[in-house]
Structure 1
Amino acid sequence: MPTLPMTAAGHAALNDELADRTRIKRPHLAERIQQAIADEPNLIENSEYQAALGEQRLNEARIAELESKLARAEIIEVSKLSGETIKFGATVTLTDQDTGEERICQIVGEPEADPAKGKISFSSPLARALIGRSKGSVVAVQTPGGDKSYKVEQVRWLP
């Protein structure tokens, strides 16, 4: 089973979500199911029961997924990394060569990737193009919207 590299912050976020789902959502859904059964014993036509049961299945599936990811986690301590070369955990400031727009992104593990928050997976096309490069490099990336070029303006190691 392959390991999943992730930052300490990403690992903590997954742990927090798992705790929420097991300690709060799981008992709440069980209570909803029991209440729905008490209100309408005909389970086939009990829409509240069916809805709560569906939510419970989704919650249990997510719990299993989180447990699997956490069991395979390889925590990379970004605070202990340094250097000018881009690698996992680096926070990179880029300039779009076509528009001049600045973009800041951190290269993280797949479970914690959130492009809207500037966290890109190490396996994404942009991260793969950046890894091994340094400040001043220009990288070309194939995106669904077409080819893009970025200049690396800064490489930082934020905790």
Structure 2
Amino acid sequence: MERVPITRAGYENLKKELVNLKTIERPQNIKAIEEARAHGDLSENAEFDAAKDRQAFIEGRIQELGYKLGNADIIDPDTLPKDKAVFGCTVILENVDTGEEVRYQLVGPDESSIEQGRISVSSPLGKAIIGKKPGDELVLQAPGGKRCYELVEIL
């Protein structure tokens, strides 16, 4: 069984989504299917087709979340070593060319949000950061060309 690394906050967000799907989305969808069915001929009933599609999405997502939560390996960033970049840690990078500093937390794909400073360990930048130590340089092949960063600090 594959363990899925996740932060405590990410785990709680997935749990909230699962509860929402089971207690709100699913019952609303069942009601929408019943209402669409009441309109008669199902062969040309767009509302019915849309509700059935939504039902398939909801059920698939419930199964996916159940798997991820059941196999979650919750990582507490506070217990991580600060000598090299690992899942869950927060790093400060400096763009070697511009001197601009950025701060990112390395998280799983379900938790990533560039706006909130969380990047996936499976992203190109995330992969480049993993295993690096303060003072190490990393080179990223970006769409606009190569970017060089120095890992300044692990928080």
The alignment's TM-score, normalised by the length of structure 1, stands at 0.87
Distance 1:47 1:12 in 2: 36
> Match of 1:49?
48
The structure with higher relative contact order (CA 8 Å, sep 6+) is 1
> Match of 1:30?
30
Q: Which runs of 4+ in 1 moved over 4 A?
A: none
Distance 1:48 1:63 in 2: 22
> Match of 1:12?
12
Q: Is the 8 A contact 1:135 1:154 kept in 2?
A: yes
Q: Secondary structure at the match of 1:110?
A: coil
Residues 67-101 of structure 1, C-alpha deviation per residue, up to 9 Å, x if partnerless?
A: 11112211111122242322111111112122333
> Match of 1:93?
92
- Counting only pairs closer than 5 Å after superposition, residues 55-74 of structure 1 correspond to structure 2 as 55-74=54-73
Distance 1:114 1:4 in 2: 18
Distance 1:124 1:37 in 2: 44
Distance 2:151 2:111 in 1: 23
Distance 1:61 1:96 in 2: 41
Which moves more between the two structures, 69-78 or 93-102? 93-102
How many Å apart are 1:18 and its aligned residue?
0.7
How many Å apart are 1:127 and its aligned residue?
2.2
Provide the aligned C-alpha RMSD in A: 1.7
Q: Secondary structure at the match of 1:22?
A: helix
Q: Is the 8 A contact 1:142 1:148 kept in 2?
A: yes
How many Å apart are 1:25 and its aligned residue?
0.1
How many Å apart are 1:34 and its aligned residue?
0.8
How many Å apart are 1:20 and its aligned residue?
0.6
Distance 1:88 1:112 in 2: 12
> Match of 1:131?
130
Distance 2:18 2:8 in 1: 15
Which moves more between the two structures, 54-63 or 139-148? 139-148
Distance 1:37 1:127 in 2: 48
Give the letter aligned to residue 61 of structure 2.
Answer: R
Q: Secondary structure at the match of 1:147?
A: strand
Q: Is the 8 A contact 1:3 1:73 kept in 2?
A: yes
Distance 2:129 2:47 in 1: 49
Identity over aligned pairs, percent: 40
The alignment's TM-score, normalised by the length of structure 2, stands at 0.89
